Amino acid sequence: LDKPRMVTLNVLDEQGWTKWLAAMRVGFADELSDQMLPEPDKNAFQRYQEMFKNNEDTLAYLAPRGIGPTAWNTDERKRTQIRRRFMLLGQTIDGMRVWDVRRAIQTLRTLDLAREVPMALQGNGRMAGIVLYASLFEPDIARIDLWHLPDSHRDGPAFLNVLRYLDIPQTVAMAAERSQIRLYQEDDSGWRFPQAVAEKLGWPDDRFQMQGKCLK
């Protein structure tokens, strides 16, 4: 593939990283020998193969800090202490993960195959929120696909004092001013604000889409 149709960055949480390792272990066990590999998932690997064969996009995968290769202590008490230390420094883990996603986007754009090619972002759960905020600080993000995005920061991601100013539905509307957004949710409850903004501003139908019952 000389020039992809689109470059898509998929940001993984811990569960997503484990599933990715299980699939990739089937074909790349030697290359991943420095990781704690789960049991191989041959069916998942075959699905990846079919996706890559039938897709003109280039896909990249990112495990931000504290996940996968950079995971911290697995003891929950230690993890709580680490989260508190970030806050003592005026940040949160999630805030720094936004920075990790931004740097990944910037790095991808230095590659020849990604220059002048549309960029898309994907995330699931808490990482969907990380992806959403990263998109606000990087230019020319063509599309954002978000699965199980929390409808409030009370459920994550955590940013210092963010609820003094806005919540996730307002952030979705901000991002949709710049990029196409697809939300994959069980239903549309909690997302009336961006829907109302899209209607009032007369956005095209593909600017903000709710895909109904989650498919992922």
* Span 152-204, pLDDT tens digits: 999 999 999 999 999 999 999 999 999 999 999 988 889 999 999 999 999 99
On whether residue 175 sits in a domain, the answer given is yes
32-37 contact pairs (CB < 8 A, 24+)? 35/68, 35/69
CB-based contacts of 63, cutoff 8 Å, min separation 6: 12, 17, 69, 70
CATH code assigned at 165: 3.40.50.1820
Q: What is the pLDDT of residue 2?
A: 74
On whether residue 138 sits in a domain, the answer given is yes
Positions in the chain whose pLDDT score sits under 50: 214-216
The boundaries of the domain holding residue 90 are 7-210
On whether residue 163 sits in a domain, the answer given is yes
Query: Per the structure, how many domains does the chain have?
Result: 1
CB-based contacts of 98, cutoff 8 Å, min separation 6: 130, 133, 134, 137, 157
Q: What is the pLDDT of residue 1?
A: 63
On whether residue 1 sits in a domain, the answer given is no
On whether residue 216 sits in a domain, the answer given is no
On whether residue 215 sits in a domain, the answer given is no
pTM above threshold 0.95: no
Q: What is the pLDDT of residue 189?
A: 86
Q: What is the pLDDT of residue 216?
A: 46
Q: Are 123 and 132 in contact (CB under 8 A)?
A: yes
Measured CA angle at 25 (ends 126, 71), to 5 deg:
40
Tokens of 159: 């940013």
DSSP states of 122-138: EEETHHHHHHHHHHHTS
On whether residue 111 sits in a domain, the answer given is yes
On whether residue 2 sits in a domain, the answer given is no
